[in-house]
A and B are shown apart, each in its own frame.
Chain A
Amino acid sequence: MAQMTMIQAITDALDIELNKDDRTLIFGEDVGKNGGVFRATEGLQDKHGEDRVFNTPLAESGIGGLAIGLSMEGFRPIMEIQFFGFLFEVMDSIAGQMSRTRFRMGGSRNMPITVRSPFGGGVATPEMHADSLEGLIAQSPGVKVVIPSNPYDAKGLLISSIRDNDPVVFLEHMKLYRSFREEVPEGEYTIPLGEANVVKEGTDVSIIAYGAMVREAIAAAETLEKEGINAEIIDLRTVYPLDIDTLIKTTEKTGRVVVVQEAQRQAGVGEKVISEISQRAVLSLKAPIQFVAAPNTVYPFGMAEKEWLPNANDIVEAVKEATVF
């Protein structure tokens, strides 16, 4: 076991998969010698060669098209979109093309593509870098969307994503890259896609979150504990497909639900979670579901991030709304 940051765990997973299968390729802007702008691919080109880990020209749609064409030639592409705010440039390749290949071709083709991309706010990036666009992509049939919240999950989920024969968008929250370390086993292990994690068992209320908001939920639970409220924390880990069973189980257990997402309140993943719980377990609810999310504005300028992003205090407030009802 080694202490690793999330970015180290990601590099480790990539290295393991490059070793395991020589059909696996990594490409994107600056992923070669530079090791990616966040160093996720650091050292991988040296170790595995320029044929397997290589830079692309600066054009996101081209990166997506490259992945599709390479898949047709039997490769397993791991493509990097430098920042997920650039999703719009590659939206057709992901949501319009690779996502529908299996459907369009009657199940006769695989698209074993992993799309890795940093996203998320709180690190003072320029405009169009921090946006949480997972809801946009999760609405596209044929793509799985994975968002780890810690180093251990990141490694296991990334290995699963790379081995999956369908397109997986793997989103890495920038704030989590280096903010903490934890024990990560050496060698390979996998975490199944589509399975949520019970981060902390609790009895009074269920906080359902993903990505960086899981850290806020943990901080909120610590505060709540002091006030005698015992929260259960669920980390979705995969926002499409959703782990319905775990959502229903926790709802039935606590009867009170707070859903948390970093993205703006309008539409998106949190709405989907609320909708499934409402349809499947409304009678288990003792209070209306609370929803903590960002306001419906464009992602704000760097100096206003702190005011804008949902945080542990917002979660504490929402939990109180749900528990005093």
Chain B
Amino acid sequence: MVKKETQTIEALLDANNFDFSTVKVLDESGKIVNEALMPELSDEELVDFMEKMVFYREWNERMFALSRQGRLGFVAPTAGQEASQLGTVLATTSDDVLFPGYRDLPQLMEHGLPRHKAFLWSKGHVDGSTYPEDFRAYPPQIIIGAQYVQAAGAALGIKKNGRKAIAMTWTGDGGSSQGDFYEGINYAGAYKAPAVFVIQNNGWAISTPRESQTAAPTLAQKAVAAGIPGIQVDGMDILAVYAVTKAAREFAIEGNGPVLIETLCYRYGAHSLSGDDPKRYQPEGAQEHWRGLDPLNRFRIFLTEKGLWTEEREEEVVAQAKEEAKQAIQDAEAAPKQKVSDFLKNMFEEADQITQEQIEQYEAKENK
């Protein structure tokens, strides 16, 4: 149920707003349902949003294919979450510090991570998470929730440095059950630190449904206990996600403290390509239901009706994604073999005696 009276950005960013109805801008038939929240975007920017969603939908397909060929390592599917992932990250700038979860490679790539590094991370190569000094991001987090407390720390640092930026982090509905989730939003709230916390509620923590995570009717309302605004948004609607995130970023930058955003979305695929099969645990009809809400589909209709999108353009973007994935996997596969001696050298700034002995042992082995 959309309660119109709270559907303004000001109301949504009020920590005392206890109406957690879902914010929507564009419905599944491609119609604008809330003009007041429609973000100001040029035609070029609108097209760019679509291109990016199409790109990452295809990128997801490429990851599947490469995974089946045994050319990738850990792969967490992203199809279904394009509006959630891109709508949030496209509201950030390169000054912002990102703390992604393991499914959030698209956000890192939009932040500037070279595509082959995303593949290297998947394959388990250290070059995949070796970042230049001015790249403001942390590698994808595996321990669900840890990124929340770290983002609170970075946000406090940003505030102390007087930078006009935010720390942004993502976890899932499962992650919102973690203690670190609460510690993170509570810390940032207590320090009025500029963080934007995103819960991508895709309905499932591997096989555990959202309903089993918590008795709370929404995850956005978890913000109430931290005294910060919590907003639930239609995570299949890139315009709504973008509008809310952009407003949250500005709110945080102005010194008002953090914001928690829950995006309602869905992962079409398994939790990861390392084993689980959604058919075992998801009810029949779930896929069809969510396909009917697809973020690409509704935005495609919207743009096509505005005369901004064509099938040809979509095919071009798909072809481009295929080409870039092909190049990226080649680049990833050309990465030098990893050396244990390098790992040992990277444990400390200066190696201690036993580590130094091990470096020498491994170098001798490696040079044989």
Contact = CB atoms under 8 A, between A and B. Distances in A.
A97 B143 contact: yes
A69 interface: yes
Interface residues of A, number: 46
Interface string B149-168: 11111111110110000010
A52 B91 CA distance: 31
Contacts of B347: 102-103, 141-142
8 contacts: A57-B190, A65-B153, A66-B153, A66-B187, A69-B149, A69-B167, A72-B138, A243-B353
Given A57-B186, A72-B154, A107 B346 contact: yes
A97 B150 contact: yes
A25 B354 CA distance: 31
Contact of A241 (B127, B345, B346, B355): B355
B160 A62 contact: no
B158 A107 contact: no
Q: Output the residue of A59, A72, A74 with the most chain B CB within 10 A.
A: A72
Interface in B253-286: none
B146 A103 contact: no
At the interface, is chain B mostly helix, strand, loop or mixed?
helix
Contacts of A56: 187
Contact of A69 (B150, B186, B353): B150
Contacts of A97: 143, 146, 150
A307 interface: no
Given A62-B184, A106-B129, A244 B150 contact: no
Nearest to A164: B349
B16 interface: no
B94 interface: no
Contact of B149 (A62, A105, A165): A62
B176 to A, nearest CB: 15
A70 B127 contact: no
Contacts of B345: 107
B153 A61 contact: no
B97 A62 contact: no
Contacts of A57: 183, 186-187, 190
Interface in A206-233: none
Contacts of B305: none
B132 interface: yes
B146 A92 contact: yes
B184 A73 contact: no
Given A65-B184, A68-B153, A106 B143 contact: no
Contacts of A244: 353-354
Contacts of A166: 348-349
Given A70-B153, A245-B353, A62 B161 contact: no
Interface string A6-39: 0000000000000000000100000000000000
Given A194-B353, A241-B352, A244-B354, A93 B149 contact: yes
Given A103-B347, A108-B132, A75 B138 contact: no
B166 to A, nearest CB: 12
Interface in B321-368: 342-343, 345-349, 352-355
Contact of B131 (A67, A73, A108): A108
Interface string B4-15: 000000000000
Contacts of B230: none
B319 interface: no
A226 B67 CA distance: 73
Interface in A75-118: 75, 92-93, 96-97, 102-110
B71 to A, nearest CB: 22
Interface string B105-144: 0000000000000000000001101111100101100010
